Amino acid sequence: MSTTFGVMVDRDALMRAAAERVVAWANEAIGRRGRFDWVLAGGSTPEQLYRLLAGPDYALKVDWSRVSFFFGDERCVAPDDPQSNYRMAQASLLGPLGVSPERIHRMPGELGPERAAERYQAELERCLAPAAGAVPAVDLVLLGMGADGHTASLFPGTRPLDEARRWVVGSHPDGLVARVTLTLPLINAARRVLFLVAGADKARAAREVLAGTAPVPLPAGRVRPLAGDAEWLLDAAAAALLGGGP
């Protein structure tokens, strides 16, 4: 397992670098196993990547009919709610690419956190068919990071961060809508993890994770694939503190 990071001059360069990687990894997986299993992230940074991949420069570079789409987390709202990660991904990536519904595995957040987590765990078992007792290895988990160092819906100091058995759990962050999230066992079993981090508000957390300066590891810093690779792509604003002090 390796963790590397790269700094791009601006947000547009960040998106291009990420798109090139997704295309290359998708084609590699499809060539080897005939499929590419991709866990999508929510948020404005991934949305820009999705629109780029669905646009004229990249849409024809992957056989999207061989890609299965999963989600790293979801708010407990209806799928057509403006806060829904699924709604964003459908509008920016899945719909424009014409992805068939059977390839899209959304988290049913409208069921509530615990019931949705149970349902999604069963969905992952059905679709990924791991060996008995094993954690499935998806091809790519795309993640972002909040200014507090959270990733997916794994927030500092919350119980889901320490889940060791289940792959999907409910998340109840203080002051925020309830959520459903993948857990570290499944994320860390991935073949590849890609973090996209943009904006000056992420700079302190990025330094704490990548330079190891946090007294207690932030959630994003606990993403360490056991057999795969983790790559961080940051724009210059998010990487501003990596070379020195505050």
**Residue 123's domain is classified under what CATH number?**
3.40.50.1360
Whether residue 239 lies inside any domain: the answer is no
Residue 237 lies in a domain: no
Residue 243 lies in a domain: no
Domain tally, the chain = 1
Domain assignment present for residue 241? The answer is no
pLDDT in tens, the chain (246 residues): 678 999 999 999 999 999 999 999 999 999 999 999 999 999 889 999 999 999 999 999 999 999 999 999 999 999 999 999 999 999 999 999 999 999 999 999 999 999 999 999 999 999 998 887 899 999 999 999 999 999 999 999 999 999 999 999 999 998 999 999 999 999 999 999 999 999 999 999 999 999 888 888 999 999 999 988 999 999 999 999 997 443
Amino acid at 208: E
Please give the pLDDT value at position 245.
41
At residue 236, the pLDDT reads 97
DSSP 54: T
Residue 181 domain-assigned (yes or no): yes
Q: For the chain, give percent helix, strand, coil, nearest 5.
A: 40, 20, 40
Question: Does 244 reside within a domain?
Answer: no
Write down the pLDDT at residue 3.
82
Please tell me the predicted confidence (pLDDT) of residue 23: 98
Instruction: Answer whether residue 242 is part of any domain.
Output: no
DSSP 99-147: --GGGB----GGG-HHHHHHHHHHHHHHHH-PPTTPPP--SEEEE---T
Separation between Cα atoms, residue 45 and residue 161, nearest integer Å = 23
For residue 98, the enclosing domain spans 2-231
Report the sign of the C-alpha dihedral through residues 113, 118, 123, 128, in that order.
Answer: positive
Residues 6 or more apart from 237 whose CB is under 8 A from it? Answer: 198, 199, 200, 202, 203
| pLDDT value for 2 | 76
Instruction: Write down the pLDDT at residue 131.
Output: 82
